[in-house]
Structure 1
Amino acid sequence: MPETEFLSLQTDHIQILQQRYEQALKAHGYDSLLISSGAAPMRYGDDQSWQFQGYGPFLHWTGLAGQEHSWLLIRPGRTPLLWLYQPVDFWHANLELPDEPWQQAMEVRFSDSRGAPSMEKSGKLAVIGDPAGLADVLGEHNPAPLLAALDETRVHKTAYEIACLARANEIAVRGHRAARDAFLAGGSEFEISLAYQQATGQREAEAPYHSIIGVNEHAGTLHYQYYDTQAPERPRSLLIDAGVRFRGYCSDITRTTPAPGERRFAALVQGLEQLQNRLCEMVAPGVEYAAIHRKTHQGIAALLSAAGLVSGLDDEALVEQGVTRAFFPHGIGHFLGIQVHDVAGKLEPSPADAPFLRLTRTLEEGMVVTIEPGLYIISSLLDPVLNGPLGKHFDHEVIDDLRGCGGIRIEDNVVVTADGARNLTREMGG
C-alpha cells in the first residue's frame, strides 16, 4: 500500500472514532472524555521503571506507544485535543513527530507537566486511564458502562487498523523466517531471539509481548519465558511465538520448525498445519468462535489417531473423555488489535468445555482474530491420562520420544470479511 494511501486511511480512522465515541458519550450521558496515556510505574525499592507501552484507548486514537504522561480530550462536534508530554530534559530524548496528515485531524499541544492539563469546564467529564495516575484529576473516573462501550468501538476494525495489522504481520513474517534459519543453523534460543529482532528492526522491549522461543522440550511450556544461551547438543524442534507492534497495532504469529531427521515430529507439524488451514477457512460472519475451538478438538483427535499416538478409541471418545484437552489445553485464539489479547472478547463466560477460551462471540465483519491450534507433550497434563484407565490406548514409547520435542503451535492473524476471511499472515508469506 502506498504511504500516501496509508496516511489517508489514518485520518479516516480518526473521523470514524470521533463518531463512535460521540455515540458512546451521548448514550451514557457524558459531555466530554479525557483519556490518559498512562505512565510506567516504578519498580519497588528501585529507581527504574517497568517497560511502558501505553493505555489502549490512547493508542486507539494516536498509535503512540511508549508516550507517557500525555492526554487526549474528546468533545462531541469538536476537534480532538492532544497534549504530548515533552519536558526540558537532558537525560532523555523527546518524541519527534513526523509531519503526517493525522496531525491536522487533531489539535496537538506540548506540555512539560506530567499532570492532567487545565481545561475549560465542559459539562459532565469522564476520565479514563490507570487509576494510579488519575488521583488529582477532576471528573468521573473509569465509569464501567462507558468503558464497556468504548471497548466495543475496538471490536470492528477500520480500514486503517487492518492496514496496520497487515504491516505488523509483514514485518513479523520476516522475523520468523530469520528465527527459523537461525535454529536450523544451530543457534541457541538467545541467538534465535537476536535474529528475530535484527530482521524485524524492533527491540524486544518495543514488541507487543515477550517472544516465546522454545527449543526442544521448552516448546511444551505454553508461555516459556527464558532464553538458553547455549544450543542443545541435539536440536530437535523450535516453537517461536512472536509479533511486532506497528503504529500501536500488534501481530501475533507462531510457527513450529522440526529439525532435519525428525520425521515423526515433522509429520505431526504437517498434520497440525493442515488442520490450522481448515480452521482459518472456517472464519466468516455468523460463525460462533467457540465452534472453531470445538472443531479443533475434533481435528486433534483425528491427528492423534492418524499418527498412531492413540488407538482403540474413536475420535468422539477422545474428545468426550478429555484426551484431546491433555494435548491441546488452551483456547483456539483471541481478538487482536492494539492489544495482543484485545478487549471485548467475552460478553459471556467461557464454556465449560473451553475454560481458557478468550473469545466467546459470534464472528462479524471487521473483527480480527487469531487461530492457533496446538499439540503438546506436557507431562503434568498427559501423565495422569497415560497412567489412568485410558493409558492402554496410548503408544507410550512414541509419546516418550516426542517429549523431547515439546510441542507444536501454529498461529495466524485473520480478518473477518463480508463473505469469509482474509489471512494476513499467509498473505504476507508466513
Structure 2
Amino acid sequence: MPTPDLAAAQGRHLDALARAYAKILTAEGYDGVLLYSGHAHRHFGDDQTASFAAFGHFLHWVPMAGLEHGWLLIRPGARPTLYFHAPADFWHLTPRLPEEAWVEAFEVELRSETAPPSLPAGRFAILGEVDAELASSLGAEANPEALTRALNELRVHKSDYEVACLREANRRALTGHRAAREVFLAGGAELDCQLAYLGAARVRESELPYQNIVGLNAHGGVLHYQHYTIDAPARRRSLLLDGGHRYRGYCADITRTWPGPDADPAFAPLVEGVTTLQQRLIAALRPGVSYVELHERMHAGLGELLAEHGLVRCSPGAAVATGITRAFCPHGLGHLLGLQVHDVAGRVAADGSPLPPPAGHPALRLTRELEAGMVVTMEPGLYIIPMLLERFRDTHDIDWHRVEGLADHGGVRIEDNVLVTVHGPDNLTLHDAE
C-alpha cells in the first residue's frame, strides 16, 4: 500500500498523463488509443512461459507489471477505461485490483476473455504487442510511428511520482547488494550471493527487471555474464554485482564491484579510481549537457586512470586516440532509465530526429542532450577482456605484466541512477545506509 504522499503524487501523475495524451492524440488526429499490456510467451514446443513484464506505455498508467491481457482505452475528454483480465480459474490465482486510490481514476471492466474490446467509431490506434491484422479487424492502426514516438518522449521526463518509485526501487536493490556482498566476503559462491540478494530484497527472480549479473573473479569481465556458479572459487579476487529491482513498474539498475580477500593489491585502487571518476561525471550532470560529451569525458578519465596505475605506458590522450580505452571499456557510459531498464527515446531528439551513437562508440544508448526530469544511469567501467586487448599485443603501449596480473579479477563497474534537475544531479542510488 503506497503512502498518502505517494498516492497523491500518483494522482497528479495520472492527471498530467491524461492532459498530455489528449494533446498528443488531438495533434496526431486520433480519437483515442488502446494500450495492450501484453502476455507471456510459451517456450517453443513446451507449455511453460517466459517471464513477463507489461508494456511500458500501459505501465505508465497502470502500476501492475505482471498484469497480462490488460487493455486500456484512452480518449480525450473521457475517463480512461481499464479492461482488466480476471478470468475464473482454478489453475492460477486470478488477478485482482489493489485497494488503492489510483483505481478510481479509471472506468474498470472485469473480463475473462483475452481478445481486445471493440472500439467506438472514429480513428484509433493500438499500441503494444499487436499485429496489423488484429488492429485492422478493429478498424484501428497498429503502433503508428509518429504517435509511438510522441508517447515515448512523454516518458523521458519523470513526474514526482515516478521519481519516488525509482528511488524506492533503488533502496530495495541496495538492500540486496549489501546482503550479496556479505555472503561473498564470507566465502559464498555466485549462486549464494544471488540467493542472498533475492532474500534481502524480498523479490522473486522472475520479477527482477533483468537477470542480475553476479560475477566472481574473471566472470566480472564478461559484461552480460549470465550464469551463477554453485561452487565457491578457491581464491576470492573480486565480485561484480549488477542487480536491480522493480517498484510499481519502475526499475533500479545498480552495479557495485568489491575486492575480495585474495585480490591483488593493485585492484582496490582501481575500484576506487573508477568510483571517483563516476562521481566526477555525475557532478557534471546538468540540463543542456551532451551525454555524448560525458561519455567522451569518461574515456579521457579512463586514460588517466590507466596511466596513473601503470597499465599503459603511453599518455592518457594516446590511450584514447588509439582505442585502448575502448578495449578496457567497450560499453557506453549509461542510458535512460524508467519503466524499462534501457528506456525509450535515448537516441531520438525531442523533435523526433535520430541521434545515432558517435563513431567508435556504437554501444552508447543515450546520445541526446540532458534535460531536467531525465533519469540516467552512470556506469563507467574498466575490464580486462583478453579478446579486446589482444589487438594491442604487438605494441608497447600496454604493460602486459600488470594487466595479466589482474586478468582473474575480471573488471570494475560502478553504476548509480541519477535524476537530472535544474539544480544539478540527484543521485537516487546513494543512501545513508550504503
TM-score (norm 1): 0.96
The one-letter code sitting in structure 1 at the alignment partner of 2:12 is: D
8 Å CA contact retained: 1:32, 1:122: no
The one-letter code sitting in structure 2 at the alignment partner of 1:411 is: E
Dislocated runs of 4+, deviation >4 Å:
none
Structure 1 position 252 matched with structure 2 position 253: yes
What's 2:46 paired with?
46
Displacement, 1:95? 2.1
Q: 1:400 aligns with which of 404, 412, 431?
A: 404
**Residue 244 of structure 1: SS of its match in structure 2?**
strand
Residues 147-187 of structure 1, C-alpha deviation per residue, up to 9 Å, x if partnerless? Answer: 00110110000000000000000000111000111100111
What's 2:418 paired with?
414
**Residue 17 of structure 1: SS of its match in structure 2?**
helix
Q: 2:274 aligns with which of 262, 272, 275?
A: 272
8 Å CA contact retained: 1:173, 1:428: no
What's 1:126 paired with?
125
**Residue 33 of structure 2: SS of its match in structure 1?**
strand
What's 2:286 paired with?
284
Displacement, 1:307? 0.7
**Residue 58 of structure 1: SS of its match in structure 2?**
helix
What's 1:75 paired with?
75
8 Å CA contact retained: 1:345, 1:360: yes
What's 2:352 paired with?
none
Displacement, 1:355? 1.2
Q: 1:376 aligns with which of 368, 377, 383?
A: 383
What's 2:326 paired with?
325
Displacement, 1:99? 1.3
**Residue 187 of structure 2: SS of its match in structure 1?**
coil
Residues 348-407 of structure 1, C-alpha deviation per residue, up to 9 Å, x if partnerless? Answer: 11010321100001000000000000000001101211x13x3x2322111111000000
**Residue 60 of structure 2: SS of its match in structure 1?**
helix
Cα distance change, pair 415–428 in 1 and its aligned pair in 2 (3 A): farther
Give unpaired runs (5+ residues) of structure 1: none
**Residue 240 of structure 1: SS of its match in structure 2?**
strand
1-structure distance, mates of 2:431, 2:172: 12
1-structure distance, mates of 2:297, 2:147: 35
Cα distance change, pair 133–254 in 1 and its aligned pair in 2 (3 A): farther
The one-letter code sitting in structure 1 at the alignment partner of 2:122 is: G
TM-score (norm 2): 0.96
8 Å CA contact retained: 1:170, 1:428: no
Cα distance change, pair 368–285 in 1 and its aligned pair in 2 (3 A): same
**Residue 127 of structure 1: SS of its match in structure 2?**
strand
Displacement, 1:298? 0.6
1-structure distance, mates of 2:139, 2:385: 51
What's 2:100 paired with?
100
Q: 1:306 aligns with which of 305, 308, 315?
A: 308
8 Å CA contact retained: 2:236, 2:261: no
The one-letter code sitting in structure 2 at the alignment partner of 1:367 is: M
2-structure distance, mates of 1:240, 1:274: 18
Superposed CA RMSD in Å reads 1.4
8 Å CA contact retained: 1:38, 1:133: no
The one-letter code sitting in structure 1 at the alignment partner of 2:124 is: L
Cα distance change, pair 413–224 in 1 and its aligned pair in 2 (3 A): same
Cα distance change, pair 428–111 in 1 and its aligned pair in 2 (3 A): farther
Q: 5 Å matches for 1:5-154? A: 5-119=5-119, 121-131=120-130, 135=134, 136-154=137-155
What's 1:361 paired with?
368
Displacement, 1:137? 4.0
The one-letter code sitting in structure 2 at the alignment partner of 1:209 is: Y
8 Å CA contact retained: 2:236, 2:262: no
Cα distance change, pair 133–207 in 1 and its aligned pair in 2 (3 A): farther
2-structure distance, mates of 1:379, 1:350: 25
Residues 85-124 of structure 1, C-alpha deviation per residue, up to 9 Å, x if partnerless? Answer: 01100000022322111111111221111111234x2411
Displacement, 1:21? 1.0
